[in-house]
Amino acid sequence: MKSKIAFGLLILVALNGCNKDINVPVPSTGPNNLMEETYPLSTASRALMDGVYSVSTGNDFLGDQVVVKSNRTHLLITTGSGIYFIIQTGYLDSVVFLQGYWRDGYSDETGLAAMYVSRSEGGSDIVTGVPTRQIIIRGGYGTNNETTDKGIVLQYLRPFSDKAQPGNFYILAHRSGGRTSDHLPVSENSLEMIRYTEKLGSTGIEIDVRLTSDGIPFIYHDSDINTRLTQKGPLAGPIENYSWLQLSTFVRLIHGEKIPTLEDALTLVVDSTLLRFVYLDMKANRDAMAQVIPIQQRILERARQKGRDLIVVVGIPTDEVLNDLMNYPDYQNIPSLCELSVDDVRLVNSRVWGPRWTLGTQNDLVDQMHSENRLAVAWTIDPVQWIRDFINEGHFDGLLSNYPYVVAYYYYIRE
């Protein structure tokens, strides 16, 4: 009875207001947060919910099928159109409760979501850790300031196929999760985004590396300090003209975070995430490899000591950066991702080839890379139809996107 009352309260909660000029806020349940009244669902139990689900109620909103994929802290429910749910889980009396919010990544639409799995429809098995394929998720969602009274019913259809196993493909999030312009609740290229990105289905990240005037590698995309990425402050102009002390003291990202150093960002990846791939997009051109590669090597050693199978590659986007790498001792043994030709990949012995997606799937060249024991990852691919086609028709080992949850859908739904 307690669970039914709590759930009834939950679905009556409306969204909070927001400042649309800065971000699309994460909807809040306020004082009616059901998770505070439930017991935490274990990671293993949460993973029992992974799979492809048919949509019997709510398919006008979600489509006919969704993918449910557990991650380190949450459940991701994602669709083929860019609508996704970030869901917390808990249980009471063998009933599994799911609470969170949904977003349409291609618009500003968002709202609350509240669902449950009853005892007789899979809840008891999930709570006790018994594998089951008899799962029905029931509940609802709201739009804008409406309550969660629009119905959803999801029924477990099948597990992920052999073509869609989580360890076989890298879902790389651009700027560590998505652009600030995509109205995510945390800033691009921030520590907070790195902590957040796994909720979006990411298994790896791309981050942008620059150097301060005193040679400290840090994470930031644009060449200048601007109000697109930062709050108003006393500094302006080219960001690499300033020292680390100046940037860390006077610059805050759009959501108030500090700009991180490269070492802090990579240490966080190793110590506090399950991410498996980090692509260092080298925005700095002036002798940056001499500063960045020692950090890369320290982080790779830290990962090895912790038993982590982590790829960290320095990016090669231009001939200038290619020459910078080739000036580094033993450069052919430095893990790198080359965006240039396959001949350049071979020249510096890059572990990964990273072509622009607009060049097409290039399966013949990708297969050549595979025959040489290299990986191939395309960047930065955002349109839904192209994500779908690259996954279904391409031979890539991963895709870089601002919409990792869309990549996750089309990868995990493969048969």
With H, G, I as helix, E, B as strand and everything else as coil, classify residue 276.
coil
Confidence (pLDDT) at 23: 55
Confidence (pLDDT) at 122: 97
Residue 146, both tokens = 């409406």
Confidence (pLDDT) at 177: 97
Q: Is 38 exposed, middle or buried (0-12, 13-18, 19+ CB in 10 A)?
A: buried
Q: Which helix (H) or strand (E) holds 7?
A: helix 2-10
Q: Is 343 exposed, middle or buried (0-12, 13-18, 19+ CB in 10 A)?
A: exposed
Residue 79, both tokens = 């669709």
Distance CA 294, CA 311 (A): 15
Confidence (pLDDT) at 30: 59
Q: What's the fold here for domain 166-412? A: TIM Barrel (3.20.20)
CA-closest candidate to residue 102, choices 135, 148, 169: 148
pTM beyond cutoff 0.75: yes
Residue 33, both tokens = 């947060």
CB-based contacts of 328, cutoff 8 Å, min separation 6: 289, 290, 293, 334
CB-based contacts of 16, cutoff 8 Å, min separation 6: 25, 27, 28, 30
> In which residue are the tokens 């090597």 written?
297
106 C-beta neighbours (distance < 10 Å), count: 15
Contact 196, 86 (CB under 8 A): no
* Angle at which helices 319-326 and 289-305 cross, to 10°: 70
With H, G, I as helix, E, B as strand and everything else as coil, classify residue 232.
coil
CA-closest candidate to residue 181, choices 386, 21, 16: 21
Q: Is 390 exposed, middle or buried (0-12, 13-18, 19+ CB in 10 A)?
A: buried
Confidence (pLDDT) at 31: 57
> In which residue are the tokens 């009834």 written?
8
Residue 86, both tokens = 């970030």
Residues of the chain with CATH 3.20.20.190: 166-412
Distance CA 325, CA 306 (A): 28
Find the Cα–Cα–Cα–Cα dihedral 399, 405, 410, 412, rounded to 10°.
100
DSSP tally for the chain: helices H, then strands E: 13, 20
Query: Which positions of the chain have pLDDT values less than 70?
Result: 1-25, 27-32, 144-145
Confidence (pLDDT) at 413: 97
CA-closest candidate to residue 49, choices 105, 102, 115, 101: 115
**375-378 vs 352-353, strand pairing mode:** parallel
Number of residues assigned to the chain: 415
Contact 249, 259 (CB under 8 A): no
What is the CA angle 251-382-178, rounded to 5? 25
Confidence (pLDDT) at 285: 72
Residue 395, both tokens = 């031979």
CB-based contacts of 361, cutoff 8 Å, min separation 6: 378, 389, 390, 393, 394, 395, 396
CB-based contacts of 193, cutoff 8 Å, min separation 6: 175, 176, 177, 178, 184, 186, 187
With H, G, I as helix, E, B as strand and everything else as coil, classify residue 190.
coil
